[in-house]
Structure 1
Amino acid sequence: MGRTTSIVTGVDFVSIPTRDLTAAADFYENVLGLERSSAWQRPGEEPLGIEFETGTVTIALIAAEQVGIPFQPHEVPIALQVDDVAVARAELEARGVQFKGEIVDSGVCHQALFEDPDGNSLDLHHRYAPRAARA
């Protein structure tokens, strides 16, 4: 069976729902230290979304209920790449972030799970083993 050529060329952004866009933006900018790149809104209204850059994929905070989407936090974590999970965790703990359990060593990466103010699951992640070659 032949392989179909992908029409997808990348991932532009990942949406994260929020009930309080201002509080969420403060967390992503001032606690995680991400660069705010844009905000979007309907003319004359409060912002509906604020975007942050991670270096690889944009995180788009979305005021879910204001755009007609029932709010439901992500329960499966979004992995945020860091150079050293233990160091990044200690820095975030100093900024008031509480983690869910200890650092996990999967045999190929280290991870530490936590949540944003809306309960969206996030993961500090560092892959230390090379990826296996594809067949």
Structure 2
Amino acid sequence: MADRLIVERVDFVSVPVTDLERSTAFYRDTLGLEQIGEGMWPEFQLGENVSLYLVDPTNMGQTFVGPHASPIALRVADVEEARGELEAEGIAFEGETLDTGVCHMAHFSDPDGNVFMLHRRHAPHES
């Protein structure tokens, strides 16, 4: 039996896009994320431990087959406050902010339909 894989951290999450210029502007200017990489691989810092990089599959001889359908959860201090700020920038959210009893969640999409969620846990995690 092989030893278990020891993961130190997630370095980046890749997001497929169809227009690097438009998507770079969305993540940098509309969401206000810190851009740390440019060119064919625009990259944005998400907190302290992970970044998001944009990939146009056609730059690698592939085709764009669709956006991420499972949301990437962006932890924020206050979901309603962050939602209000993004709505003021023109971002449309899907439905109301959810309170699951454990966390608050608000879903939105980027220009290519990749799904994101503003997220904040407000109850302790139970095992």
Alignment TM-score > 0.5, same fold = yes
Distance 1:8 1:83 in 2: 26
Q: Alignment partner for residue 103 of structure 1, among 93, 97, 117?
A: 97
Aligned-CA RMSD value: 1.5
Deviations 1:60-91 (A, max 9, x none): 11112221232120011100111111111111
**Which structure 1 segments of 5+ residues have no match?**
40-46
Q: CA deviation at 1:31?
A: 1.0
Runs (4+) of structure 1 moved beyond 4 Å?
A: none
Distance 2:119 2:62 in 1: 29
Deviating more after overlay: 62-71 vs 15-24:
62-71
Mapping of residues 54-93 of structure 1, within 5 Å:
54-55=46-47, 56-71=49-64, 72-93=66-87
Q: CA deviation at 1:129?
A: 1.3
Mapping of residues 1-135 of structure 1, within 5 Å:
4-39=3-38, 47-55=39-47, 56-71=49-64, 72-132=66-126
Question: Number of residue pairs matched?
Answer: 124
TM-score, reference length from structure 1:
0.86
Could you tell me which residue of structure 2 aligns to residue 43 of structure 1?
none
Distance 1:93 1:114 in 2: 10
**Which structure 2 segments of 5+ residues have no match?**
none
Q: Which entry has the higher C-alpha Rg, 1 or 2?
A: 1
In structure 2, the residue corresponding to 1:102 is in which secondary structure?
strand
In structure 1, the residue corresponding to 2:42 is in which secondary structure?
strand
Q: CA deviation at 1:132?
A: 2.7
Q: CA deviation at 1:10?
A: 1.2
- Amino-acid identity (%): 48
Is the 1:48–1:67 Cα contact (8 Å) retained in structure 2?
no
